[in-house]
């Protein structure tokens, strides 16, 4: 099970938002690349990056910061404002390992299908859910479909990785919505990266246990809990490796 430490970028700085609200911002660092370097030093191979300005504006706004992170040598999973093929190609061109399509996935199946045909597993879809409904445009609007319905449509298009975020728990440090994550895991053959609510080591342990029952639980994104020193990244990475070893034994 892969641990994805998260970096959210707004105005060029590393921040966290409470439930995705732009008016509920905490600044953690002026240089996101410095944070990524710390994650790499702790042993992480991946970093999950969100261009928050891009998510709200509909086009990438912090690509210089993203490029600086990619230059460190980590595998970057990038979301936020990637709503055109040109934006996706630009991100992949400077070293992003996987792009995350959010709003456009809910709006245009043909767009996602084109990207999957062109870039394969470098394309993931982010499904952000509020009370089970898909949220879009930086979480300020709700689409007329359920998260599970969208996931099944993406599965049919050949999308192999979904990032499932429960907005109600994101940034709240109250624990993940395990029931929602389990429902998503059972909805298709795609890999699921769980996001939202991790507040303590026990949350990751419980997700690791869930991964023993669902082989398609790829990993978990951890954000605020890291910045608030509630969890230790090397410890979580070790938990993820242990889960992978147990899967092989099983």
Per-residue pLDDT, 167: 83
Distance of alpha carbon 146 from alpha carbon 15, whole angstroms: 29
Known catalytic membership, residue 8: yes
What pLDDT digit, counting tens, does each position of 95-114 carry?
999 999 998 998 999 999 99
* Token representation of residue 113: 């299908």
Residue 128: active-site member: yes
Ramachandran bin of 56, using left for φ above 0, alpha for ψ from -120 to 50, beta for the remaining angles: alpha
- Residue boundaries of the structural domains of the chain: 2-249
Buried b / exposed e over 65-77, threshold 16 CB at 10 Å, is: bbbbbbeeebbbb
Distance CA 205, CA 238 (A): 11
Distance of CA 242 to the CA centre of its chain: 22
Give pTM, 2 decimals: 0.93
Does residue 248 have a pLDDT over 90? Answer: no
**Measured between alpha carbons, how far is 62 from 245 in angstroms, rounded to an integer?**
37
Which residue among the candidates 51, 128, 166, 203 is catalytic per the annotation? 128
Q: What is the pLDDT of residue 169?
A: 63
Give the per-residue pLDDT at 217: 97
The mean pLDDT of 8-30, rounded to a whole number, is 87
Provide, rounded to the nearest whole percent, the portion of the chain with pLDDT above 90. Answer: 78
pLDDT digits (tens, 9 = 90+) for 107-166: 999 999 999 999 999 999 999 898 888 887 655 566 668 999 999 999 999 999 999 998
Q: Is the pLDDT of residue 90 over 60?
A: yes
Class of domain 2-249: alpha beta
Tens digit of each residue's pLDDT (9 = 90 or more) over 41-82: 999 999 999 999 998 899 999 999 999 999 999 999 999 999
Catalytic hit among 8, 53, 166, 170: 8
The sign one gets for the Cα dihedral 167, 162, 58, 67 is positive
Question: For the segment 156-198, what is each residue's pLDDT rounded down to a tens digit?
Answer: 999 999 999 988 765 556 789 999 999 999 999 999 999 988 9
Residue 211 has pLDDT above 90, yes or no: yes
What pLDDT sits at residue 103?
85
């Amino acid at each position: 099970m892969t641990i994805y430490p998260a970096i959210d970028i707004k105005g060029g700085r590393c921040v966290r938002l409470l439930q995705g609200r732009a008016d509920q911002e905490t600044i953690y660092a002026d240089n996101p690349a410095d944070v990524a370097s710390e994650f790499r030093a702790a042993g992480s191979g991946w970093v999950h990056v969100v261009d928050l300005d891009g998510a709200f504006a509909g086009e990438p706004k912090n690509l210089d910061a993203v490029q600086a992170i990619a230059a460190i040598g980590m595998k970057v999973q990038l979301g936020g404002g990637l709503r055109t093929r040109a934006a996706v190609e630009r991100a992949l061109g400077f070293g992003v390992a996987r792009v995350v399509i959010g709003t456009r996935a809910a709006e245009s199946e043909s767009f996602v299908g084109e990207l999957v045909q062109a870039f394969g597993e470098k394309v993931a879809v982010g499904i952000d859910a509020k009370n089970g409904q898909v949220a879009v445009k930086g979480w300020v609007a709700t689409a007329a479909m359920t998260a599970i319905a969208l996931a099944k449509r993406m599965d049919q298009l050949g999308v192999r990785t979904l990032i499932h975020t429960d907005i109600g728990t994101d940034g709240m440090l109250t624990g993940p919505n395990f029931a929602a994550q389990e429902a998503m895991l059972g909805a298709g053959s795609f890999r699921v990266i769980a996001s939202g609510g991790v507040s303590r080591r026990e949350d990751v342990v419980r997700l690791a246990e869930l991964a023993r029952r669902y082989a398609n639980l790829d990993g978990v994104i951890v954000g605020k809990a890291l910045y608030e020193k509630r969890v230790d990244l090397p410890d979580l990475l070790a938990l993820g490796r242990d889960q992978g070893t147990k899967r092989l034994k099983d």
